Amino acid sequence: MNPAEFAVKNRLISVITILIFLFGGWMAYLNMPRFEDPEFTIREAVVITQYPGATPEEVALEVTEPLETAIQEMQEVKEIRSVSSFGLSRITVEIKYEFSPSKDALQLIWTKLRNKVTDATGDLPPGASTPLVNDDFGDVYGIYYLVTGEGFNDDELHDYVKSLRTRLLTVDDVGKVVITGVQSEAIYVEIARDRAAALGVSIDQVFNDLAQQNSVVSAGSARVDDLRIQILPTGNVDSVSAIENVIVSTAASDGSGTTGVVYLRDIATVRRELKDPQSFILRHNGKPALGLGIANVSGANVVKVADGVRETLAREMTDRPIGIDIHEYYNQGEVTDDAVQDFALNVVMALVIVLVTLLIFMGKVSALIIGAVLLVTIAATLTTMNLVGIPMHRISLGALIIALGMLVDNAIVVTEGILVGVQQGRRKLETAKDIVTRTWWPLLGGTIVGIIAFAPIGFAAGNTAEYTNHLFWVILISLLFSWVFAITLVPLMADWMFKETHAGDRQDATESRFFVLYKDFMRRALRRRWIVVAGAFALFGLSIWGFQFTKAGFFPVSTTPQIIVDYWLPEGTDISRTNADMARLGNTVGALDGIESVTTYVGQGGLRYMLVYGPESPNSAYGQLLLRVTDSSLIEDLMPRIQSYADSAFPDAQTKVRRFRLGPGGGSLIEAQFSGPDPDVLRDLATQATTIMSEDGRLVAVKNDWRQQVSVIEPVYSETSGRRLGISREDLANALRSNYSGRTIGYYREQDELIPIVSRAPAAERAGVSDIGNVQIPSQATGQSVPLLEVVSGFDTDWRNARVRRLERVWTIKAQADPGPDELASEALARIRPKIEAIDLPPGYSLIWEGEAGDSAEANESLAATIPLGFAAMVLTIIVLFNALRQPALIWLTVPLSFIGVVVGLLVTNSAMEFMAILGVLSLSGLLIKNAIVLVDQMDLEIREGKARLDAVVDSAASRVRPVMMGSLTTVLGVLPLMFDAFFQAMAVVLVFGLSFATLLTLVVVPALYAIFFGIGEEETEAA
């Protein structure tokens, strides 16, 4: 049975279907998961291994190398990057997309990674710690609070936040709650060198006494009658004063072998305080703070999770101590809800625009029919999205808006056909059956082609494709529904709403002046068909030439009202200096008009609270300000002011003021990556590149990712003296560490925490290195301490790499920079690229471009891998549809015409050819092919029915001009709201200008090409 006939004759089933989809769509809108961005899996884990005392080169060769070798054996590994610094190896492992399409698959790979690392542990040198594999590196804590406590110390604030975490973990769909910014404590035992020597105290003996006093050892159990009773000796230390009262052994004053005892307080100062140096400092609006990050379970509705968290905090407020404040820094639930509301408003605007357009050009009844079908199509799409697990987010909602105008194309063709038939006096049902029979295959073919045009992004591999692939699936679902409802619901509603015309009231729509003029124009164009085609392709050639003046890009900046300030002091700077600078910078910037809050990180970045925020690895020379502004429109004015102040007030620092960028990617936007066998040569190459970047004068944050070299002191160990005194190189190192950094000699247990007990010299003895020669070293042979000067032959100072990096086990360094605030990265790169590529590379060294250029190339490469298959599928679809070759050939010749409008649009709006714009160009091909199919199929149909061929071409073009124009117009007007969305703006420009220009040209060029391909002469007309 014909679909139209089935829908009309089975009205009850049709109505029930409509109601089911409307109800399902409404419920889906209310309940489906909502996110700001798509759930994007960061396929990276970090392997951290400590190797105390080793230089970066020693760490790289002795620890990093064997671990990398083992990890590289895994076929799932895409890339291995490593950073080796003093005493620490940090390896980042990235997994290939095809092996980890889901988080469950990724967890299996992490298990395999752990096994590989465990197997390689036996190859590590003595002194290296057990490697730690952190696979939570990519977790996003979308609800982020900062907790401050006026009048509360660090312990009290931490205790409160821990109790708050316990409550928050009970909220439905909360997966993780982490605390950051906790200031670790230590108990310092500062033993004065002269006092210990006067009392004859051995430092090693102090260490042993403390360790034995506070150790946890089993005393066994005893049987008493029928019971087994545990024996628990007392005497363990339970306070700072208890540590001070620990008794330590001393040598006898007369030099005999007997010993005495003294209290530890007699030879040392014991205090409990924050670890020195601190590793991480967090402040909010100038006050010490703790961060509280909350992550939802996968697939949960973050809006509902945020509501649950807020309710819990509201209930907890009555128990909150006065003085403790909880500041909401970022709430993904609120941001997502606002974004969904904005997008929903855009959907409504697009829907209204489409309906008003239809009302103007097609009449009230036709507009009502098409609008009703459009509403059901959207509802069915939402229902299906909910069923298959596609949530609401930036990409899926944007896809709905893009699809809105396309969804009415099929309905317009069917409605137009039925309307014309009814106006000619035909019966409604017979007309509907006839129109559906004639058009359902061409419409299906055009719909499939339109879907396939978006297929490359749906099936491409890689991070960028994963981020955007819901665009394809939403369009696939919605366009398929639009075809089904066009051949079923449109006839049903036309049967309800159109009135049949009696024979005496018959109308001929082609008699309107517009159609008369259009036919006359087409006949003139067909007489000059070669000029028409040549003119169109001349415009195409002109657009190819004009494309060189467009700008290139990757993803646009975010409109979130936040500014990031990255601050780097020279490598090796003590964190206290960095902290002082950040306090000064934060106070000044926080006083600017428009700054709502200032969050300060010192020593490393914060929690990943947004997908696009990548926290910086620990470094004492690093600080960061996260600034919330009252309105995002103020950012463009604030950024240069902050950059100018930072550059002038902190001349020895490197400051980068930036905004978040949408989409994947990260790091510096311009990166020249050098690789080769010699670290010294690489540093020289990077220096040449950074010099070129600095001399450009318009780039900011110029650096290399190995940072500056640092000065080191090298006590030259004398093996002869050491052996004579019984002091090894290890004894020398341990004594220096105990004196300056401190040596952990035990742990103090306090509830669920272990606080290290650290021995170090008093402040006066570790304030500098001028007195380094008097550091006492215990001799294992004599039991006495000797000054360091007696076991060294001198002191050297040298400059060393503080960190070295490798990529795929090859030494790699990046020269990095960022464009100024008013410039695209592609423009800046084009200016310096020739100069850097002119650097003479020794044999065995290479240069590749990373940063935005590398990310863009990788994304385009993954897209390009699927484009040929997509185009092949479209070509095959058209060939099958027409069962011929000439029709597909002339249809494909119209596709390049879209490029004319694309170039015009990019130049007029000053938009960049970003990744989303590339997707827009791909989708344009599908839209144009759909229009061309409708035209060519009608020409074939009328010729088969016996009409003179020239008349058939002209009449077909006239009969399809309104559906084609209306379909294109509704698509163009439907995406207009996206012109004001930062993420989709470039794509909207491409669609609006490309489709507008190409549609006008298609209505003229397709008939001309058809006449040329089939050799239609001017005489083939009944009017001849």
Tens digit of each residue's pLDDT (9 = 90 or more) over 560-587 = 899 999 999 999 999 999 999 999 999 9
Domains of the chain: residue spans and CATH: 193-216+234-266+711-801 (3.30.2090.10), 363-499 (1.20.1640.10), 518-549+884-1023 (1.20.1640.10), 558-660 (3.30.70.1430)
Task: Kindly report the number of other CB atoms within 10 A of residue 734's CB atom.
Answer: 16
Consecutive H or E run containing 268: strand 268-274
How far apart CA 699 and CA 672 sit, in angstroms, is 14
CA distances from 659 to 32, 143, 513, 554, 911 (A): 30, 20, 55, 15, 18
What is the residue type of 882?
F
CB atoms within 10 A of CB 680: 9
Reported as a single tens digit per residue, the pLDDT across 875-891 is: 998 899 888 999 999 99
Six token digits for residue 523? 């006949």
Tokens of residue 388, six digits: 């298959």
Residue 200 has pLDDT above 70, yes or no: no
Q: pLDDT class for 864, splitting at 50, 70, 90? A: confident
Q: What percent of the chain has pLDDT over 70?
A: 95
Q: What is the dihedral of CA 909, 913, 914, 920, to 10 degrees?
A: 90
Among 620, 585, 617, smallest CA distance to 600 is for 585
Q: Is the pLDDT of residue 318 over 90?
A: no
Residue pLDDT, tens place only, 950-971: 999 998 888 888 888 887 888 8
Report the C-alpha gap between 456 and 465 in whole angstroms.
Answer: 9
Query: What tens digit of pLDDT does each residue of 77-133 get?
Result: 999 999 999 999 999 999 988 888 878 889 999 999 999 999 999 999 998 999 999
- What pLDDT is attached to residue 516? 84
Alpha carbon distance 363, 494 (integer Å): 13
* DSSP 8-state symbol, 558: P
pLDDT of residue 538: 94
Confidence category of residue 214, pLDDT binned at 50, 70, 90 = low
User: What is the spatial distance between Cα 171 and Cα 160, in angstroms, rounded to a whole number?
Assistant: 18
Cis peptide before 556 (omega within 30 of 0): no
Are 181 and 289 a contacting pair, CB within 8 Å? Answer: yes
Helices (H), 460-550: 463-468, 470-486, 489-497, 513-527, 529-546
Average pLDDT rounded to a whole number, residues 240-250: 80
| Contact of 187 with 755, CB cutoff 8 Å | yes
* H helix runs in 805-945, sequence order: 825-837, 851-882, 886-892, 898-909, 915-944
pLDDT > 90: percent of the chain: 42
Q: Which two tokens stand for residue 445?
A: 């073919």
Please list, residue by residue across 219-239, b when 16 or more beta carbons sit within 10 angstroms of its beta carbon and e when fewer do.
eeeeeeeeeeeeeeeeeebee
Rg, the chain, Cα only: 37
**Type of residue found at 69:** T
Taking the CA atoms of 954, 955, 956 and 958 in sequence, report the sign of the dihedral they define.
Answer: positive
What pairs with residue 786 in β-bridges? 777
* Cα gap 917→556, rounded to integer Å: 11
Sign of the CA dihedral running 791, 793, 799, 801: negative
pLDDT for the residue numbered 395: 85
Q: Examine the pLDDT at 625 and tell me if it is beyond 60.
A: yes
How many alpha carbons lie under 13 Å from residue 142 in its C-beta half-sphere? 29
What is the reported pTM? 0.82
pLDDT tens string 12-34: 999 999 999 999 999 998 888 88
For residue 591, name the pLDDT band (cuts at 50, 70, 90): very high
The stretch 225-248 carries a mean pLDDT of: 81
Q: How far apart are CA 496 and CA 420, in angstroms?
A: 16
Q: Is the pLDDT of residue 260 over 80?
A: no
Cα–Cα distance, 855 to 457 (Å, whole number): 16
Q: Report d(CA 919, CA 460) in Å as an integer.
A: 12
Spell out a b/e string for 487-514, using b for 16 or more CB atoms within 10 Å of the CB, else e: bbbbbbbbbeebeebeeeeeeeeeeeee
148 pairs with which residues across the strands? 289, 325
Give the pLDDT band of residue 509 (cuts 50, 70, 90): very low
pLDDT, residue 663, reads: 67
SS3 assignment, position 436: helix
Question: Which helix (H) or strand (E) segment is 749 a member of?
Answer: strand 743-750
- In this predicted model, which residue has the larger pLDDT, 641 or 784? 641
Contact 968, 954 (CB under 8 A): no
Contact between 565 and 616 (Cβ < 8 Å): no
Q: What is the dihedral of CA 522, 524, 530, 534, to 10 degrees?
A: -70
User: Whose CA is closest to 853, among 833, 875, 882?
Assistant: 833
SS3 of 487, please? Answer: coil
CA distance 702 to 704: 7
**Mean pLDDT, rounded, of the chain:** 87
pLDDT in tens, 449-466: 888 888 887 787 777 777
Reference 987, options 897, 907, 924; nearest CA is 924
Q: CA of 647: how far to CAs of 82, 701, 816, in Å?
A: 31, 10, 18
Nearest CA to 618 out of 940, 192, 337, 278 is that of 278
* Burial letters 765-798, b for 16+ CB under 10 A, else e: bbeeeeebeebbbbbeeeeebbebeebbeeeeee
